[in-house]
């Protein structure tokens, strides 16, 4: 039976809310399928990015799954995002449920609600969406009638804080597992849902690749540490493994990027030029959990860029990855694309470049049409010692030489990213950033002969993440972080000569503590999240909505009577033997290898990139049967005829 569009009831409310266009849908390249197709058993996914439309729409993860699923006959996928509080209020008043923007169908009517968590700060938005959809917040209260609520994205590598609210979670690349899950659901529906909801969840869990939290019991020791996480029924594995798509050339998505009417945070066509990272920066969860490196070939990248621009009309192409200049063919890619789009207004950007992989040829190719976007590098640590601890092997010489090259080639602005609160960090390590920035300006002025050289230092609070060597580390408390940032600010400002040329961007340390709670939390944190939400916590990633005090009060209330508290989850250092809340989730990394790397960090020992040096046995490849897939293929990009040739608009 077809499901009705909620739009006629939604439309009269739209003139009263902020940016109503975000709820209207109708984006170019959006896919709307018939709810029912005669003779075809359908499986229907609602895909959510749990933040506002302007942030969620460009998200590549959701766009990729949206296309992969919709390409299949018998599968329908639509998108939903967090609605702003003004519309939430009106929706509750008028009894309108969480809806998809594609066809404004109620999320409650779908078979699955897949939520992609790039960050933990979307957890309260998830609760709003569930509540508005009429889906019971607690997974145990749901029946066959409710969608299966399944989490993905990087934060899903530790979904324990939201375990109560999830039916399932998948770790790693979503393309193949989403299709596999679809088939399991289809069969279960076709057989008239044997076993009900649990029957379906058991089938999903049996594969070993889908984590169903309620099939595991967690017991605790008197001091609060986890005693054990164990399956509570047969047919459920002790550890659930992540998914890795090998041969990304076979999955060239997105092919048809969504082009919104509303303004969004990224207005460009993005191509992932590779997944994974082998640099081994110890703080970086993304690098650790996406191993091994799998490159797309230059020809696939070329095709994807061409198709994507044709289908979207975007003027900017982003070549994305964790460290784009590390692609084995990046030089040819940049030159090939720059040649191809020479004379057009298409610009290329490489959002993530390591200092040591940057080179001036690359930078020049990227700015050939004259648009010189700023250069960004991420030394992360202010002293060489600090950089050894985090395994970001960039010497001061490298950094200065690189920025000097940039400035002498016409760049005027350089942005440097750092973190504050890293393990073993002292005040000196952070204040040294001021010296570094000073040297950058000094060198810049020298090599360019100009005084209008600028450098922006952007510094964020470090949050230890699961599945990294720093997962045992004590997070720095926010007072320490704030005090260090104040010292850095003073050091920069006090310099008459260079102070004005250095910009400093930072946030205060409190939000990082909450991120830390959510990032390394266990199931007991679920009650905290619910309490915050009940107190109207929403959009925690937005400074205008985030309330540290609300979170602190919620931890006090929800964790009262337990041996644990906010500090226990954040500023406490863990020991080797402690059961971590995510130990039963397998990212492929060998736990002992992570521990050794943590010890090496404390001893300031560096480890090389295993793409180009021998393997260090992190465990991913043998464990998961994967391997590093890199070029070079030796191909070049074929020249194409310029896009606007031969179009019929000429008179």
Partner 1 sequence: MERTQAPPVQKLRIRFAKRGRLRFASHRDFQRAFERALRRAGVPVAYSQGFTPHPKVSYAGAAPMGAASEAEYLEIAVTEECDPPAVSAALDAALPAGLDIVDVVVADHGSLADRLQASEWSIELPDAPFEALAAAVKAFLAEPVVEVQRMTKNGIRTLDARSAVVRMAVDPAGPTIRLVVRHQSPTVRPDDVLTGLRRLSGLRDTAHVATRLAQGPLDETAGTVGDPFNP
Strand partners for 271? 319
Reduced 3-state DSSP string for 155-199 = HHHCCHHHCCCCCEECCECCHHHHHHHHHHHHHHHHCCCCCHHHH
Report, in Å, the least distance between residue 340 CB and partner 1. Answer: 15
Q: What is the DSSP letter of 611?
A: T
Q: Which stretch binds partner 1 (CB under 8 A): 10-18, 422-430, 433-441, 503-511?
A: 10-18
289 touches 467 (CB < 8 A): yes
* DSSP per-residue string spanning 410-473: T--EEEEEEEES-TT--HHHHHHHHHHHHHHHHHHHHHH--S--EEEEEEEE----TTSGGGGS
Report, in Å, the least distance between residue 558 CB and partner 1. Answer: 40
Among 312, 323, 328, 383, binds partner 1 (CB under 8 A): 312
* DSSP reduced 3-state for 309: helix
Q: Which stretch binds partner 1 (CB under 8 A): 19-27, 137-145, 147-155, 606-614?
A: 19-27
21 touches 262 (CB < 8 A): yes
Report, in Å, the least distance between residue 455 CB and partner 1. Answer: 21
Report the residue number, 26 or 563, with the smaller CB distance to partner 1: 26
Q: Which stretch binds partner 1 (CB under 8 A): 43-51, 204-212, 308-316, 510-518?
A: 308-316
What residues from 330 to 359 belong to the interface with partner 1 (CB under 8 A)? Answer: 345
CB neighbours (10 Å) of residue 388?
18
Q: Which stretch binds partner 1 (CB under 8 A): 155-163, 275-283, 311-319, 463-471?
A: 311-319
Report, in Å, the least distance between residue 269 CB and partner 1. Answer: 11
Report the residue number, 143 or 644, with the smaller CB distance to partner 1: 644
Q: Total binding residues for partner 1 by CB under 8 A? A: 37
Burial letters 229-256, b for 16+ CB under 10 A, else e: bebeeeebbeebbbbbbeebbebbbbbb
By the rule CB under 8 A, 369 interacts with partner 1: yes
User: Which two structure tokens, joined as six digits, stand for 195?
Assistant: 């076993």
Q: Which stretch binds partner 1 (CB under 8 A): 8-16, 42-50, 214-222, 275-283?
A: 8-16
Element (H, E) at 294: strand 294-295
Question: 456-485 mask for partner 1 (x: CB under 8 A)?
Answer: ------------------------------
Q: Which stretch binds partner 1 (CB under 8 A): 90-98, 305-313, 418-426, 595-603?
A: 305-313
Among 40, 221, 230, 261, binds partner 1 (CB under 8 A): 261
Among 54, 198, 249, 315, binds partner 1 (CB under 8 A): 315
By the rule CB under 8 A, 15 interacts with partner 1: yes
By the rule CB under 8 A, 372 interacts with partner 1: yes
Report, in Å, the least distance between residue 287 CB and partner 1. Answer: 34
Report the residue number, 195 or 410, with the smaller CB distance to partner 1: 410
By the rule CB under 8 A, 26 interacts with partner 1: yes
By the rule CB under 8 A, 649 interacts with partner 1: yes
Question: 207-246 mask for partner 1 (x: CB under 8 A)?
Answer: ----------------------------------------
Q: Distance of alpha carbon 144 from its chain centroid, rounded?
A: 31
Residue 398 to residue 396: CA distance in whole angstroms:
5
Residue 454 to residue 441: CA distance in whole angstroms:
7
Report, in Å, the least distance between residue 344 CB and partner 1. Answer: 9
Q: Distance of alpha carbon 120 from its chain centroid, rounded?
A: 10
Element (H, E) at 271: strand 269-272
Pure H helices in 51-174:
53-56, 60-70, 85-94, 123-133
By the rule CB under 8 A, 370 interacts with partner 1: yes
What residues from 391 to 450 belong to the interface with partner 1 (CB under 8 A)? Answer: 410
Report the residue number, 363 or 420, with the smaller CB distance to partner 1: 363
Among 3, 7, 606, 635, binds partner 1 (CB under 8 A): 7
Cβ burial of 649 (10 Å; 0-12, 13-18, 19+) is: exposed
CB neighbours (10 Å) of residue 570?
23
Q: Which residues have C-beta within 8 Å of that of residue 361, sequence separation ≥ 6?
A: 331, 334, 335
By the rule CB under 8 A, 262 interacts with partner 1: yes
Report, in Å, the least distance between residue 7 CB and partner 1. Answer: 7
Report, in Å, the least distance between residue 646 CB and partner 1. Answer: 8
What residues from 267 to 286 belong to the interface with partner 1 (CB under 8 A)? Answer: 267
Q: Tokens 């969840």 identify what position?
A: 201
Residue 279 to residue 469: CA distance in whole angstroms:
13
By the rule CB under 8 A, 643 interacts with partner 1: yes
Q: Which stretch binds partner 1 (CB under 8 A): 20-28, 183-191, 246-254, 287-295?
A: 20-28
Report the residue number, 346 or 463, with the smaller CB distance to partner 1: 346
Among 3, 5, 20, 442, binds partner 1 (CB under 8 A): 20
By the rule CB under 8 A, 647 interacts with partner 1: yes
Task: Please count the residues of the chain.
Answer: 651
Strand partners for 504? 457
Among 208, 313, 374, 563, binds partner 1 (CB under 8 A): 313
Report, in Å, the least distance between residue 12 CB and partner 1. Answer: 5
By the rule CB under 8 A, 648 interacts with partner 1: yes
Burial letters 338-362, b for 16+ CB under 10 A, else e: bebbeeeebbbbbebbbbbbbeeeb
Report, in Å, the least distance between residue 133 CB and partner 1. Answer: 22
In whole angstroms, how far apart are CA 235 and each of 172, 199, 219, 647? 22, 12, 20, 60
Q: Which stretch binds partner 1 (CB under 8 A): 26-34, 40-48, 447-455, 608-616?
A: 26-34
Element (H, E) at 227: strand 226-231
Categorise residue 65: left if φ over 0, alpha if ψ from -120 to 50, beta otherwise. Answer: alpha
Positions in the binding site for partner 1 (CB under 8 A): 7, 11-12, 14-15, 20-21, 24-28, 259, 261-263, 267, 310-315, 345, 367, 369-372, 410, 643-644, 647-651
């Amino acid at each position: 039976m077809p499901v009705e569009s909620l739009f006629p009831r939604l439309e009269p409310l739209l003139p009263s809310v902020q940016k109503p266009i975000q709820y209207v849908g109708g984006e170019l390249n959006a896919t709307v399928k018939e709810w029912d197709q005669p003779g075809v058993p359908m499986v229907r996914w609602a895909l959510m990015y749990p933040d506002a439309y302007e942030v969620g729409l460009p998200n590549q993860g959701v766009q990729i799954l949206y296309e992969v699923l919709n390409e299949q006959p018998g599968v329908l996928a639509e998108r939903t995002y967090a609605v702003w509080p003004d519309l939430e209020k009106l929706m509750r008043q008028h009894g309108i449920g969480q809806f998809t923007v594609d066809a404004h169908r109620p999320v409650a009517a779908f078979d699955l609600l897949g939520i992609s968590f790039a960050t933990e700060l979307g957890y309260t938005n998830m609760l709003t969406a569930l509540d508005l959809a009429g889906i019971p917040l607690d997974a145990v209260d749901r029946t066959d009638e409710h969608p299966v609520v399944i989490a993905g994205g990087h934060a899903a590598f530790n979904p324990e804080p939201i375990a109560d609210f999830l039916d399932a979670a998948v770790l790693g690349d979503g393309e193949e597992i989403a299709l596999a899950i679809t088939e399991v659901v289809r069969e279960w529906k076709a057989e008239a849902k044997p076993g009900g909801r649990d029957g379906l969840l058991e089938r999903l869990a049996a594969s070993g690749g889908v984590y169903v939290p309620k099939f595991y019991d967690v017991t605790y020791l008197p001091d609060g540490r986890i005693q054990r996480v164990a399956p509570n029924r047969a047919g459920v594995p002790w550890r659930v493994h992540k998914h890795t798509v090998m041969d990304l050339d076979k999955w060239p998505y997105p092919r048809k990027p969504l082009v919104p009417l509303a303004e969004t945070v990224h207005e460009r066509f993005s191509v992932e030029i590779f997944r994974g990272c082998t640099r081994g920066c110890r703080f970086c969860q993304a690098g650790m959990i996406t191993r091994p490196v799998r490159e797309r070939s230059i020809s696939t990248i070329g095709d994807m860029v061409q198709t994507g621009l044709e289908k979207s009309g975007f003027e900017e192409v982003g070549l994305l990855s964790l460290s784009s200049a590390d692609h084995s063919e990046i030089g040819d890619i940049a030159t090939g694309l720059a040649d191809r789009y020479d004379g057009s207004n298409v610009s290329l950007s490489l959002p993530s470049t390591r200092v040591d992989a940057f080179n001036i040829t690359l930078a020049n190719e990227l700015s050939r049409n004259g648009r010189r976007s700023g250069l960004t590098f991420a030394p992360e640590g202010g002293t060489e010692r600090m950089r050894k601890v985090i395994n970001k092997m960039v010497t001061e010489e490298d950094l200065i030489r690189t920025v000097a090259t940039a400035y002498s080639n016409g760049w005027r602005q350089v942005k440097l990213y750092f973190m504050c609160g890293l393990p073993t960090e002292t005040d000196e390590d952070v204040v040294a950033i001021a010296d570094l920035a000073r040297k950058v300006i000094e060198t810049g002025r020298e090599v360019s002969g100009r005084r209008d050289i600028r450098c922006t230092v952007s510094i964020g609070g470090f949050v230890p993440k699961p599945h990294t060597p720093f997962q045992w580390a004590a997070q720095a408390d926010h007072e320490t972080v704030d005090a260090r940032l104040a010292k850095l600010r003073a050091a920069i400002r006090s310099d008459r000569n260079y102070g004005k040329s250095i910009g400093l961007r930072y946030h205060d340390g409190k939000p990082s503590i909450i991120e830390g709670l959510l990032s390394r939390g266990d199931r007991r944190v679920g009650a905290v999240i619910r309490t915050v939400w009940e107190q109207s916590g929403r959009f925690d990633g937005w400074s205008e909505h985030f309330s540290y005090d609300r979170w602190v009060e919620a931890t006090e209330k929800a964790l009262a009577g337990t041996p644990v508290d906010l500090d226990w989850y954040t500023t406490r250092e863990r020991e080797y033997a402690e059961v971590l809340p995510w130990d039963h989730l397998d990212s492929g990394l060998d736990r002992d290898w992570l521990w050794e790397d943590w010890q090496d960090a404390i001893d300031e020992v560096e480890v090389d990139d295993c793409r180009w040096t021998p393997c260090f046995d992190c465990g991913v490849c043998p464990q998961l049967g994967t391997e590093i897939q890199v070029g070079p293929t030796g191909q070049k990009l074929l020249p194409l005829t310029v896009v606007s040739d031969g179009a019929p608009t000429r008179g």
